[in-house]
């Protein structure tokens, strides 16, 4: 994307995070982005599909960054713990991003790919290596458990009830215990130092 397109998408993310409906008009988008309406028209393929575009981009970008964050030899439980905490920390650092996630992460088809990729990979690898102890046919429920726990933790952080560190550690620990990791190991994974979330190359 061009710099102007990124600016438009960032403005759209802010608007969607604040609105009840997944619709914005060109005037409010131009105002939020600090651009002329004509610039919006020239750099936007379709205002009608803007939500789907922003949601898909958000999901794929975060999945790619989390995927780059750890080498394959890292314990899948540690990768999952880190991934959970990455989401919660980023929501604290980028509140519009977090608000968008809480508002739409569990309810819109465009956001469902957010829970594909690294989360599924880490859960499947943990199951295959017997790090986790649930049945294969429970995979979708396990992913739902992770997604719901992360979204609620983000909500608690955004509302000021928990710090991102406490919410991240608690959520990672409870999720790992729910998947079958022994309590002491789950706590260790959940409180291990969290690296920086890798940036993507432009």
Which token pair is 13? 């993310």
Cα 171 to Cα 65: distance, rounded to the nearest angstrom: 20
- Chain centre to alpha carbon of residue 125: 20
What is residue 106's predicted lDDT score, i.e. its pLDDT?
A: 74
Find all residues with CB under 8 Å of 122, minimum gap 6, and list them.
Answer: 76, 77, 79, 80, 83
Contact assessment for residue 121 and residue 69, using Cβ atoms and an 8 Å cutoff: no
Q: For residue 178, name the pLDDT band (cuts at 50, 70, 90).
A: very high
User: CA 151 to CA 140: how far, in whole Å?
Assistant: 16
Q: Which residue has the higher pLDDT, 53 or 89?
A: 89
27-31, 77-81, 114-118 — which is least confidently predicted? 114-118
DSSP-derived secondary structure letter, 94: S
Q: Is 138 exposed, middle or buried (0-12, 13-18, 19+ CB in 10 A)?
A: middle
Residue 47 has pLDDT above 90, yes or no: no
d(CA 166, CA 103): 22
Please check the confidence at residue 174 and state whether its pLDDT lies above 70.
Answer: yes
pLDDT 10s digits, 93-125? 999 999 988 888 877 766 676 777 777 888 988
Rounded-to-integer distance, Cα 82 and Cα 87, Å: 9
Q: What is the mean pLDDT of the chain?
A: 88
Helix axes 3-18, 50-67, angle to 10 degrees: 100
What pLDDT is stored for residue 20 in this prediction? 66
Nearest to 31 by CA among 12, 58, 57: 12
Q: What is the pLDDT of residue 21?
A: 62
Judge contact between 167 and 92, C-beta under 8 A: no
Q: What is the largest CA-CA distance in the chain?
A: 58
Assigned token pair, 71: 């080498």
What pTM did the predictor assign?
0.87
pLDDT value at position 54?
Answer: 86
Give the range among 79-83, 89-93, 99-103 with minimum mean pLDDT.
99-103
Tell me the average pLDDT across 76-104: 92
pLDDT-derived band of residue 197, with 50, 70 and 90 as boundaries? confident
Angstrom CA distances, 30 to 48, 54, 58, 147, 182, stand at 15, 16, 20, 33, 52
Q: What is the pLDDT of residue 110?
A: 64
What's the pLDDT band for 22 if we cut at 50, 70, 90? low
| Site of tokens 């939020």 | 32
Inform me whether the pLDDT recorded for 160 exceeds 80: yes
């Amino acid at each position: 994307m061009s710099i102007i397109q990124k600016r438009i998408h960032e403005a759209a993310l802010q608007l969607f995070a604040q609105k009840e409906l997944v619709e914005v008009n060109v005037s409010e988008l131009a105002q939020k982005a600090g651009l002329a309406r004509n610039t919006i028209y020239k750099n936007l393929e379709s205002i009608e599909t803007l939500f789907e575009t922003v949601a898909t981009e958000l999901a794929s970008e975060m999945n790619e960054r989390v995927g780059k964050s750890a080498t394959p030899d890292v314990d899948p439980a540690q990768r999952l713990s880190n991934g959970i905490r990455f989401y919660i920390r980023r929501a604290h650092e980028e509140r519009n991003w977090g608000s968008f996630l809480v508002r739409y992460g569990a309810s819109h088809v465009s956001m469902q790919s957010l829970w594909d990729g690294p989360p599924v990979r880490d859960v499947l690898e943990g199951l295959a290596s017997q790090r986790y102890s649930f049945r294969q046919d429970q995979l979708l429920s396990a992913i739902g458990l992770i997604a719901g726990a992360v979204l609620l933790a983000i909500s608690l952080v955004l509302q000021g009830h928990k710090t991102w560190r406490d919410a991240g550690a608690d959520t990672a620990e409870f999720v790992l215990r729910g998947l079958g990791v022994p309590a002491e190991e789950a706590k260790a994974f959940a409180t291990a130092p969290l690296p920086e979330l890798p940036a993507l190359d432009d």
